Chains A and B, each alone.
Chain A
Amino acid sequence: MHPDGDPGQGRGTPRPYESVRFEALGSTCHLLGVAIGRDRLEDAAAWVADMHLRFSRFLPGSEISLFNAQAGRQVEVSPELEAMLRTAVDAWWASGGLVNACVLDAMLGVGYSRPLREGPTPPAPLATRAPLPPLPEVLHVGSGSALLHPGSGIDLGGLAKGWMADLLTAELGENCLVNLGGDLFARGGGPSGDGWPVALGGVTLLLRDQAAATSGIRRRSWSGGGQTLHHLIDPRTGRSAVTDLGEVSVVAESAVRAEVCAKTALLLGSDHAPAYLAANALGWWLY
Chain B
Amino acid sequence: MRAFVLKAVVTGITMVATVASALYVGAHVKNPNAPLHPPVIGPSGSGRSASQAAGGRLSLTPSVRSSDVQAVTSTYAS
Interface of A with B (CB < 8 Å)?
A: 6-9, 17, 19, 25-28, 30, 32, 94-98, 131, 158, 161, 177, 179, 181-184, 190-192, 194-207, 210, 212-220, 235-236, 247, 249, 251, 264, 268, 274-280, 282-287
**A159, B54: Cα distance in complex, Å:** 26
Interface-forming stretch among B2-10, B12-20, B21-29, B33-41? B33-41
Q: When the two chains form their complex, are residues B75 and A184 in contact, meaning their CB atoms are under 8 A apart?
A: yes
Q: When the two chains form their complex, are residues A205 and B38 in contact, meaning their CB atoms are under 8 A apart?
A: no
Q: Which of B42, B60, B66, B71 contacts A7 (CB 8 A)?
A: B71
Interface of A is mostly: mixed
When distances are taken between beta carbons in the complex, the residues of chain A under 8 Å from B69 are 6-9, 192, 197, 204, 206
Interface of B is mostly: loop
When distances are taken between beta carbons in the complex, the residues of chain A under 8 Å from B78 are 25-28, 158, 161, 181-183, 214, 219
Q: When the two chains form their complex, are residues B70 and A251 in contact, meaning their CB atoms are under 8 A apart?
A: no
A selection of 14 A-B contacts at a CB cut-off of 8 Å is A6-B69, A32-B72, A94-B38, A184-B73, A197-B71, A205-B60, A206-B67, A210-B63, A210-B64, A214-B77, A235-B36, A278-B59, A282-B63, A287-B56
When distances are taken between beta carbons in the complex, the residues of chain B under 8 Å from A177 are 72-73
Check: B53 CB closer than 8 A to any chain A CB: yes
When distances are taken between beta carbons in the complex, the residues of chain A under 8 Å from B37 are 96
Q: When the two chains form their complex, are residues A219 and B73 in contact, meaning their CB atoms are under 8 A apart?
A: no
**A274, B57: Cα distance in complex, Å:** 10
**A213, B74: Cα distance in complex, Å:** 9
Cross-chain pair count, CB within 8 angstroms: 174
Determine how close the nearest CB of chain B comes to the CB of A90; give it in whole angstroms: 13
Q: When the two chains form their complex, are residues B75 and A7 in contact, meaning their CB atoms are under 8 A apart?
A: no
Q: How large is the interface on B (under 10, 10 to 19, 20 to 34, 35 or more residues)?
A: 35 or more
When distances are taken between beta carbons in the complex, the residues of chain B under 8 Å from A194 are 65, 67
Q: When the two chains form their complex, are residues A279 and B75 in contact, meaning their CB atoms are under 8 A apart?
A: no
When distances are taken between beta carbons in the complex, the residues of chain A under 8 Å from B43 are 278-279
When distances are taken between beta carbons in the complex, the residues of chain A under 8 Å from B36 are 95-98, 235-236
When distances are taken between beta carbons in the complex, the residues of chain A under 8 Å from B63 are 210, 282
**A202, B73: Cα distance in complex, Å:** 12
**A266, B27: Cα distance in complex, Å:** 34
Q: When the two chains form their complex, are residues A182 and B71 in contact, meaning their CB atoms are under 8 A apart?
A: no
Q: When the two chains form their complex, are residues B67 and A131 in contact, meaning their CB atoms are under 8 A apart?
A: no
Q: Which residue of A lies closest to B35 (CB)?
A: A236
Q: Which of B32, B64, B71, B73 contacts A282 (CB 8 A)?
A: B64
Q: When the two chains form their complex, are residues A278 and B45 in contact, meaning their CB atoms are under 8 A apart?
A: yes
Interface centre among B38, B41, B48, B71 (most CB of A within 10 A): B38
**A85, B58: Cα distance in complex, Å:** 32
Q: When the two chains form their complex, are residues A179 and B40 in contact, meaning their CB atoms are under 8 A apart?
A: no
Q: When the two chains form their complex, are residues B48 and A200 in contact, meaning their CB atoms are under 8 A apart?
A: no
Determine how close the nearest CB of chain B comes to the CB of A111; give it in whole angstroms: 18
Q: When the two chains form their complex, are residues B77 and A274 in contact, meaning their CB atoms are under 8 A apart?
A: no
Q: When the two chains form their complex, are residues A274 and B59 in contact, meaning their CB atoms are under 8 A apart?
A: yes
